[in-house]
Amino acid sequence: MYNSFIGIIPARYASTRFPGKPLAIINGVTMIERVYQRVRDLFDEVIVATDHHSIAEVVEQFGGKVIFTSPAHASGTDRCFEAYIKNGKPYNVIVNIQGDEPFIQPSQIETLKDCFSDPLAEIATLIKPFSPDDSLEILENPNSPKVIINSENEAVYFSRSVIPYIRGVAKTDWLKCHTFYKHIGLYAYRATVLAEITQLQPSTLEKAESLEQLRWIEAGYRIKIGFTQIETIGIDTPEDLKKITDQ
């Protein structure tokens, strides 16, 4: 079955840690344009979903398509759905592209899209194995959610804690005796499923971990997993911007 794909890049202006982040300049090019140019040829259509006129103006200047969305959205998922509905064109799958990852790789997008060759896939995301050479500090970082999967390559659970717990082994040796997986926050949804999950209320597990995807798991949705070996480079603060170099 052929799947049609639309890529939507949520671009919110009022970030607490980095206001105006989509307009940040990286080697002479705005972050939002960098993301757009990296993914524009991978979809049937790509749009930027924003709540701010300054972002919209920049997108239109470089020839991108933009749709205004409400500033009240609590998540990129909700912003994607509003933009999809306003766009008015039917697609099988909507891909939510992080607007603060200007070095996203086309291969990551293709891996995510390939998940929908499985007709049972409802939602898809990516994971990356931690390296046995990573430090315990890297593994335990709560800002780097971990995930466990089943034999069908579907997510069982996501956590800011290290999962699974390795009983009878010193923590310093955990990475040497088990493959742990880091969640890469790139999502795709079947259009019918996106319409449903945006109607769900925040769940108990979601509130506990502050991870939106747990709401979907608690509601019984299947999250298909794609594997990547590529480390994403997210820009969350002005300090992050200073650290990066062009790739």
Q: CA of 223: how far to CAs of 100, 193, 226, in Å?
A: 23, 11, 10
User: CATH number of the domain that 126 lies in?
Assistant: 3.90.550.10
Domain that holds residue 12: 1-104
Asked if residue 111 and residue 100 are part of one domain, the reply reads no
| In a domain? residue 126 | yes
Please give the radius of gyration of the chain, using alpha carbons only, rounded to the nearest integer. Answer: 18
Asked if residue 182 and residue 156 are part of one domain, the reply reads yes
How far is residue 190's CA from residue 222's CA, in Å, rounded to a whole number? 11
pLDDT recorded at residue 247: 45
Asked if residue 87 and residue 163 are part of one domain, the reply reads no
Asked if residue 223 and residue 123 are part of one domain, the reply reads yes
| In a domain? residue 240 | no
Task: State if pTM tops 0.95.
Answer: no
Asked if residue 84 and residue 115 are part of one domain, the reply reads no
The listed range with the strongest mean pLDDT (19-28, 72-81, 89-98, 232-241) is 89-98
Query: 174-220: per-residue pLDDT in tens?
Result: 999 999 999 998 999 999 999 999 999 999 999 999 999 999 999 99
Query: 102-111: per-residue pLDDT in tens?
Result: 889 999 999 9
| In a domain? residue 224 | yes
Cis peptide leading into residue 142 (ω within 30°):
no
The last residue of a domain, from among 104, 139, 159:
104
Enumerate the H helices of the chain as residue ranges.
31-39, 53-61, 76-87, 106-114, 136-140, 174-177, 191-197, 204-209, 213-218, 238-243
Asked if residue 126 and residue 176 are part of one domain, the reply reads yes
Asked if residue 98 and residue 110 are part of one domain, the reply reads no
Asked if residue 211 and residue 111 are part of one domain, the reply reads yes
Asked if residue 127 and residue 71 are part of one domain, the reply reads no
Asked if residue 83 and residue 1 are part of one domain, the reply reads yes
Enter the DSSP assignment of 70: -
